[in-house]
Amino acid sequence: MVSKKSRIFRVIFGLFLMVGVWLLFKSYWALIGLVPIIVGITGYCPACQILGKCSLKR
């Protein structure tokens, strides 16, 4: 689980990433911003699951 503060940050970061990449490059690479948005909305961090530990404070 990801903390509430981290979830909000990830959603905002994902939105900025998508908009920024789209405005600068007009590329579908902007869709990479969906990853932090989905993690922020669901609260599930796949990196924590794969690595077996999480550096985020809960």
Instruction: Identify whether 56 is part of a domain.
Output: no
Instruction: Identify whether 43 is part of a domain.
Output: yes
Domain holding 9, by residue range, is 4-51
Instruction: Identify whether 57 is part of a domain.
Output: no
Instruction: Identify whether 30 is part of a domain.
Output: yes
Q: Rounded to two decimals, what is the model's pTM?
A: 0.79
Instruction: Identify whether 22 is part of a domain.
Output: yes
Q: Is the pLDDT confidence value at 41 over 90?
A: yes
Query: Looking at the 3D structure of the chain, how many domains does it have?
Result: 1
Q: Which residue has the higher pLDDT, 25 or 43?
A: 25
The pLDDT, as a whole number, for residue 56 is 55
Q: Give the model confidence (pLDDT) of 42-57 as tens digits.
A: 988 888 778 877 655 5
> Per residue, what are the HEC states of 22-57?
HHHHCCHHHHHHHHHHHHHHHCCCHHHHHHCCCCCC
